[in-house]
Amino acid sequence: MVFQFLLLGIPVSVHWTTIFLFLIIFCDSFLYLRMNLKGKSTRGYIIAGIFSVVLIILSVLVHETGHAVVAGSYGFKMTSAGINGAFAYVSNGFSMNTIEPYKEFLIALAGPASNFLLALLGVPFIYLLGRSLPESTIRYFTIVNIRLGRINLWPVALLDGGRILNSIIRYTAGTANWTSYIPYLVSVIFIIYIFSKKRGHFELEHLIEKIP
């Protein structure tokens, strides 16, 4: 089942499986809030968890809007958008492989950059709000946006990092048939690396966790 509606004249589709994404975000935020700030009421954690879901969904929308805005600056108008399970997308009615590599690079980069910008905007509120549920909610929002930006930069096919890698390959090696296999090969190697590396490595969101 797919729910469809118009948003600013743009067709938007939301697959029914997206409800599982909402539940995962809620459960993750609820557990994070209880661990990060103990002693609050269950009702307070639930309300903060709901706000967290709203903030993260808005973050996803900002991410996709970032792609659309940069694409629009090059004359490519957004024709549709949607969320399918855990994946959000925008469609501009063109193939990224048909445009100049630098445009593909910037369009792909705009999404993760939007998440990093949102995370940066959240940091001052962590300091200003003090130890409270609103502060923990913003802290969670900031951490998730860093992760969204970081993971989307992974050089994996279907992610923005894969598009960035593809644009670099197209720019340096041209559009020969053999080059189309490179992003997939890199994806496999990178995924193997991710699952084989040891824990305890530095990640940017660890800095947010250390904010007093």
Element (DSSP H or E) covering residue 88: strand 87-91
| CA–CA gap between residue 95 and residue 146 (Å, rounded) | 28
pLDDT for the residue numbered 194:
61
Is the confidence at residue 86, as pLDDT, over 90?
no
Half-sphere exposure of 31 (CA within 13 A, CB side): 5
Average pLDDT of the residues of the chain = 83
Q: Structure tokens of 193?
A: 């690396």
83-87, 132-136, 208-212 — most confident range:
132-136
Question: For the whole model, what pTM was predicted?
Answer: 0.83
**Where is pLDDT greater, at 23 or 10?**
23
Q: How many residues are recorded in the chain? A: 212
Query: Which residue in 24, 59, 48 sits closest to 148, CA to CA?
Result: 59
Could you give the number of structural domains in the chain? 1
Is the confidence at residue 199, as pLDDT, over 60?
no
| CA–CA gap between residue 50 and residue 22 (Å, rounded) | 9
pLDDT for the residue numbered 17:
82
Domain that holds residue 8: 2-209
Q: Which neighbouring-strand residues pair with 14? A: 3, 83
For β-strands 87-91 and 80-84, DSSP reports them as antiparallel
Q: Which neighbouring-strand residues pair with 5? A: 12
Instruction: Read off the DSSP letter of residue 198.
Output: P
pLDDT digits (tens, 9 = 90+) for 22-71: 899 999 999 999 988 888 888 999 999 999 999 998 898 889 888 888 88
Residue 77's CB: how many other CB atoms inside 10 A? 11
